[in-house]
Chain A
Amino acid sequence: AQSVAQPEDQVNVAEGNPLTVKCTYSVSGNPYLFWYVQYPNRGLQFLLKYITGDNLVKGSYGFEAEFNKSQTSFHLKKPSALVSDSALYFCAVTPGDYKLSFGAGTTVTVRA
Chain B
Amino acid sequence: DVKVTQSSRYLVKRTGEKVFLECVQDMDHENMFWYRQDPGLGLRLIYFSYDVKMKEKGDIPEGYSVSREKKERFSLILESASTNQTSMYLCASSSVAVPGDRAPYGYTFGSGTRLTVV
Contact = CB atoms under 8 A, between A and B. Distances in A.
Of A46, A90, A92, A100, most buried by chain B (CB within 10 Å of CB) is A100
A62 interface: no
B106 A34 contact: yes
A32 B105 CA distance: 11
A100 B97 contact: no
Interface residues of B, number: 29
Contacts, number: 69
Interface residues of A, number: 24
B111 interface: yes
Contact of B94 (A41, A100, A102, A104): A100
Contacts of A9: 40
Nearest to A96: B97
Contacts of A49: 99, 104-106
Contacts of A32: 98-99, 106
B96 interface: yes
Interface string B69-91: 00000000000000000001010
A44 B90 contact: yes
B111 A105 contact: no
A99 B48 CA distance: 10
Interface in A38-95: 41-46, 49, 51, 90, 92, 94
Contacts of A42: 111-112
B95 interface: yes
Nearest to B9: A41
A92 B59 CA distance: 17
Nearest to A97: B97
A104 B112 contact: no
Q: Which 3 A-B pairs have the closest CB atoms?
A: A43-B109, A46-B105, A104-B42
9 contacts: A46-B108, A49-B106, A51-B99, A92-B107, A96-B97, A98-B30, A100-B107, A102-B42, A102-B43
Interface of B: 4, 6, 9, 30-31, 40-43, 50, 88, 90, 92, 94-99, 104-112, 114
